[in-house]
Chains A and B, each alone.
Chain A
Amino acid sequence: MNDFPLPVRAERSNPLARVFDELIDFCRARSMFMLHYCTGCGAIELPPAMTSRFDMERLGIQPMVTPRQADILLITGYVSIKTLKRVILTYEQMGSPKYVIGICSCTVNGGMYWQSYATAKKLNEYLPVDVYIAGCMPRPEAVIEGLRKLMGEIKAGRANSWERYFREYDRYLAAQQNLFGPNWQTPTDIIGEARDYQLYGPGTEGRHTELLQQHQVPLQPLRMTLHSDVEKSS
């Protein structure tokens, strides 16, 4: 998936700013909140990894219950097509910078469910994945090793594949539409966000995002009324 290599972050000329960047990366690497979403069977190895025996918390990795406050999306195992929709919605809600870790062989290429009509095969087609941890299922040590690798990448400023989702949104959307049908919509405005983050690239818009606008149904806000309001209005 390295058709468009990501531009390496330019070193800033101001030495103070450079120190500041490094400090931010260091802090980011030391406090990672991973989203509490067990998408598959690999989730069974997370409780041992999180609790007293392997203790991920000593590395600053903690479970977090809401996507808005999470940094890491752990895809623990195969994603069925139904789950993949929710995973994509969740991913788009997470604040940048955000990282995706694919645990288990099934996220790499479908694993032992390659024949299955119900699971998505290569996670990398739908979301930019930072680290894969292979195995069925990987041991807690392997999970922690993978997370440490991610920490190293973040510290070195190299873990920026989340930018890829903005720069090449059209390609990711193509894979999503291929699986979910042309009507596929998410409530998040990725193109607008890409402009906002200054990550608008040549691959952000294309054939598939046009389709997005074609099928767009304006989202209506849910009407929230209390009983007394209704009585007043009626």
Chain B
Amino acid sequence: MRPENYQAQSHPPSHEYELNFGPNHPGIEGNYALQVRLHGDTVVSAHADGGYLHRGFEKLMEGRLWIQNIALVPRICVPDPVPMEVCYSLAIEDISGLQVPERAKWLRVLQLELSRIAAHLFYFGGHAATTGMYSPSFWGVADRDLILDRFEELSGGRVYHIFNIPGGVRRDIPEGFLGRVSALLDYLEARLPEYDDLLFRNQVFVRRSKGVGVIDQQQALAWGVTGPNLRATGLGFDVRRDDPYLIYNQLDFEIPTEDSGCCWARTLVRRSELQQSIRICRQVIAALPDIGGPVRAPIPNPLAWNVPVGESYTRVESSKGELAYYVLSTGGEKPYRVHVRGPSAMHAVQVLEKMVTGGRLEDVAQIMFSLDACPPEVDR
């Protein structure tokens, strides 16, 4: 396949050759491309090529009402959409000084953590598939579907929920919802040992991922790595704890870390996070019945809502890392500027290019999946 803008270049004679890794490639995550130069099996240099999923979100948001953008934001990251809605809502609430009711905050945390569990389950499947194991992807996707069922019950949408709006959440939970979520958490927790046997005690996976794609803490800090990938290098930084939003400072959870910084460590961190997320969900389920009150603060007529002049840089911890929104209002019907800082903007471009260089060709896919790079966040 030779795209029309591809110019064949004559290189000086060498054993090096060029390989287009993506966009139509089973080893690439989403619609993304890497041009790698290889010498034998060794990657000499890599060049990321994005933009296949570019929709111009930031431009679209400038042309739509504040409330219309709620439907746009979850589309920026498909596997983990809830943090996008929450982050955008938090930014607007910060600017306009809306007080979110207590119950809505807890409900948001419940969704955020469920979405994190779903994204991590999906991640296990994807990462294992790059090492040639397909059972975890069958398991992960099937277990993730059970979470999507709960989301569907809550909001009517399996993948895109659009349940969080500025001022709170759209409506209260249906009757018996907490019990069903609780049963789901029990099931997931009982499944974790099975995942351990399948993935983390499996020699195929262990030997394939241990010591591959290593970054140390200094490099990670210099390259702007965040989220689970940073925690896999031993630095316990989490936006939930260090820059708390919603009610995370009232919750009891740990920040799991690993020291080796390889693909194995990144997966293990996510596995421990899964357990912590289940723990957080349990706390929310225990606390929610005692928290009464409305789930939505009254907002002005959303079709003629002029958010007051102001700016906000809001951050949340998504399953992939630090997600931030810069929102600027000049007092108009529409935002003047919304800037989305997706965590993968770092991971999928600069970090990936540097990490695969010097490695082997068969590890390129694994490194990309182990970083949990999400191309739509890069392209926006």
A residues contacting B by CB (< 8 A) are 35-41, 43-45, 47-48, 51-53, 63, 65, 67, 78, 80, 82-83, 85-86, 89-90, 93, 112-113, 115-119, 136-137, 139, 180, 183-187, 219-220, 222-223, 225, 227, 230
Q: Could you tell me if A40 and B31 are in contact, using CB atoms closer than 8 angstroms?
A: yes
| B97, CB-defined interface residue at 8 Å | no
Interface range, B side: 35 or more
> When A47-B137, A65-B26, A220-B8 are in contact, do A86 and B125 touch as well, CB less than 8 Å?
no
Once the chains are docked, how many angstroms separate the CA of A225 from the CA of B30? 33
| B52, CB-defined interface residue at 8 Å | yes
Q: Could you tell me if A37 and B24 are in contact, using CB atoms closer than 8 angstroms?
A: yes
> When A82-B52, A82-B54, A83-B23 are in contact, do A45 and B3 touch as well, CB less than 8 Å?
no
Once the chains are docked, how many angstroms separate the CA of A224 from the CA of B205? 36
Q: Could you tell me if B78 and A41 are in contact, using CB atoms closer than 8 angstroms?
A: yes
Contacts of B138 in A (CB 8 A): 51-52
Identify 14 residue pairs between A and B in the complex whose beta-carbon atoms are under 8 Å apart, listed by A's number. Answer: A37-B24, A39-B31, A40-B31, A44-B79, A47-B141, A48-B142, A48-B144, A48-B148, A51-B141, A65-B25, A90-B1, A116-B60, A137-B159, A227-B13
Contacts of B355 in A (CB 8 A): none
Once the chains are docked, how many angstroms separate the CA of A45 from the CA of B160? 11
Q: Could you tell me if B159 and A45 are in contact, using CB atoms closer than 8 angstroms?
A: yes
Q: Could you tell me if B14 and A47 are in contact, using CB atoms closer than 8 angstroms?
A: no
| B72, CB-defined interface residue at 8 Å | yes
What is the 8 Å Cβ interface bit string for chain B, positions 67-104, against chain A (1 contact, 0 not)? 00001100100110000000000000000000000000
Name the residue in A93, A137, A180 with the highest tally of chain B Cβ atoms < 10 Å from its Cβ: A137
> When A35-B24, A37-B24, A227-B14 are in contact, do A80 and B137 touch as well, CB less than 8 Å?
no
Q: Which residues of B27-59 have CB atoms within 8 Å of chain A's CB atoms?
A: 30-31, 51-56, 59
Q: Could you tell me if A51 and B53 are in contact, using CB atoms closer than 8 angstroms?
A: no
Once the chains are docked, how many angstroms separate the CA of A180 from the CA of B340? 28
| B321, CB-defined interface residue at 8 Å | no
Q: Could you tell me if A48 and B145 are in contact, using CB atoms closer than 8 angstroms?
A: yes
Q: Could you tell me if B56 and A93 are in contact, using CB atoms closer than 8 angstroms?
A: no
Main secondary structure of the interface of B (DSSP, over half): loop
Once the chains are docked, how many angstroms separate the CA of A65 from the CA of B1? 14
Q: Could you tell me if A118 and B56 are in contact, using CB atoms closer than 8 angstroms?
A: yes
> When A51-B142, A83-B31, A115-B63 are in contact, do A40 and B53 touch as well, CB less than 8 Å?
yes
Main secondary structure of the interface of A (DSSP, over half): loop
Within the complex, the shortest CB–CB distance from B262 to chain A, in Å, comes to 26
Contacts of A82 in B (CB 8 A): 51-52, 54
Contacts of B79 in A (CB 8 A): 44
Within the complex, the shortest CB–CB distance from B146 to chain A, in Å, comes to 9
Q: Could you tell me if B52 and A230 are in contact, using CB atoms closer than 8 angstroms?
A: no
Within the complex, the shortest CB–CB distance from A66 to chain B, in Å, comes to 9
Q: Could you tell me if B1 and A93 are in contact, using CB atoms closer than 8 angstroms?
A: yes
Please, which residue of chain B has its CB at the minimum distance from the CB of A230?
Answer: B13
Please, which residue of chain A has its CB at the minimum distance from the CB of B29?
Answer: A38
Once the chains are docked, how many angstroms separate the CA of A10 from the CA of B142? 46
Partner of B4, one of A80, A136, A184, A223: A184
Partner of A37, one of B23, B72, B159, B376: B23
Q: Could you tell me if B159 and A113 are in contact, using CB atoms closer than 8 angstroms?
A: no
Q: Could you tell me if A119 and B141 are in contact, using CB atoms closer than 8 angstroms?
A: no
Within the complex, the shortest CB–CB distance from A55 to chain B, in Å, comes to 10
Contacts of B141 in A (CB 8 A): 47-48, 51-53
Q: Could you tell me if A53 and B145 are in contact, using CB atoms closer than 8 angstroms?
A: yes
Once the chains are docked, how many angstroms separate the CA of A38 from the CA of B32? 9
- Would you list the 5 A-B pairs with minimal beta carbon distance, nearest first? A230-B13, A41-B78, A118-B56, A51-B141, A37-B24
Contacts of B30 in A (CB 8 A): 38, 43
Once the chains are docked, how many angstroms separate the CA of A118 from the CA of B58? 12
| B10, CB-defined interface residue at 8 Å | yes
Within the complex, the shortest CB–CB distance from A162 to chain B, in Å, comes to 19
> When A137-B160, A223-B10 are in contact, do A116 and B55 touch as well, CB less than 8 Å?
yes
